[in-house]
Amino acid sequence: MPAAGLGTRLRPLTSGVLPKEMLPVGRRLALERIVDELAASGIRRIVFVISPAKEDTIRRHFGERGADGVTFAYALQSEMRGLGDAVLRAEELAGAGPFVVALGDAVFEEPAPGGLTLRLVDAFSAQNASVGLAVQRVPRERIGRYGVVRPAPGGGAGGPFLAITDIVEKPAPEDAPSDLAAAARYVVAPGIWDCLRRTRPGKDGEIQLTDALRTMLSEGGRGVAVPLGPGEVRHDIGGLDSYFRAFAAFALRDEEHGAGLGQWLRARLNHSDSDEEKSSA
Ligand code: G1P
């Protein structure tokens, strides 16, 4: 789980001691929600890739052991050289087989906890793939913020997964190979390590995971993409607007306080000019 980024879009919130991944999203921290998601999908060993500045908070909070027999290990990324480089820092700790990459700044609302990652792992195994990733449709005007996949002709679009032949990091909208954007969850075969080592800085001068995946696909690896299902929502907690929405979405679903918050919000929005006592009365 890469969680080393600087949180630049959330400054000044994240310029002191608080990593963005440790922000609360409702009653759980963002990273706790991702750990819960992965544990629900059957994952039992999680390697966090963190910056030295985050060791104090993230490592002290999670320690070596979580619930459900989940164990934690930590790899350090000392220089911010990109997502691909962050993943490569975990090589020694990741074991010999395929592994999931779950970006630490993306939290999912899911009707079935862990369901997306589970479908991804299942499709990856069933298709004997080297690259698997969750994808979501994004309007053309925003597609350039994402890694974008090229579906294989007749590759199962509309089914539970589709075959893909390429992926491009943050293309210009007119060059985007589709409107299907990489959505923060991946499964990769161990061949990725070699591809990552061969990856030179790409978009924004960073070593991109997308470029290493692209190499795997171009060298004959099979790729599968699993679209987000009904009710599955990706929340990016790395920007203030989307973080606010993530907090609101989870707070509104809170078993104890969600209904009350919903009532308060409705009243507040209907009577934005009256004071709080009146609107909650
Ligand atoms: C990263 C990936 C990108 C992906 C996005 C959302 O970009 O590089 O391919 O689509 O996460 O999962 P970032 O948001 O870190 O710029």
For domain 8-263, give the CATH number. Answer: 3.90.550.10
Pocket of ligand 1 (CB under 6 A): 83, 103, 106, 146-147, 169, 181-184, 208, 210
Whole-number pLDDT of residue 279? 45
DSSP 8-state symbol, 200: P
Q: Beta 71-76 vs 45-50: how paired, if at all?
A: parallel
**DSSP SS3 for 235:** strand
**H/E run at residue 47:** strand 45-50
Model confidence pLDDT, tens digit, residues 190-212: 999 999 999 999 999 999 999 99
Q: Which of 9, 10, 49, 83 to mutate to test the pocket of ligand 1 (most atoms within 8 A of CB)?
A: 83
Using the mean position of ligand 1's atoms as its centre, give its distance from the Cα of residue 146 in Å: 5
Task: Report how far residue 91's alpha carbon sits from residue 84's, in angstroms, rounded to the nearest whole number.
Answer: 11
For residue 53, give both structure tokens: 């500045």
Task: Compute the distance from residue 36 Cα to the ligand 1 centre, in Å.
Answer: 21
Domain ranges within the chain, ordered by starting residue: 8-263
What pLDDT, on a 0 to 100 scale, did the predictor assign at position 276?
A: 56
Question: Which residue, by CA, sits nearest to atom 7 of ligand 1?
Answer: 146
Distance between CA atoms of 51 and 123, rounded to whole angstroms? Answer: 32
How far is the centre of ligand 1, averaged over its atoms, from the C-alpha of 8 (Å)?
14
Each residue of 72-118: pLDDT tens digit?
A: 999 999 999 999 999 999 999 999 999 999 999 999 999 999 999 99
pLDDT, position 275: 56
Q: Which token pair is 84?
A: 């691909």
Residue to mutate (ligand 1; options 49, 105, 135, 146; most atoms within 8 A of CB): 146
Residues in the chain predicted with pLDDT less than 70, given as ranges, are 157, 273-281
Residue 47's nearest CA partner among 97, 101, 119 is 101
Q: Which residues contact 228 (CB under 8 A, 6 or more apart)?
A: 116, 134, 135, 136, 183, 234
Q: Is the pTM of this model over 0.85?
A: yes
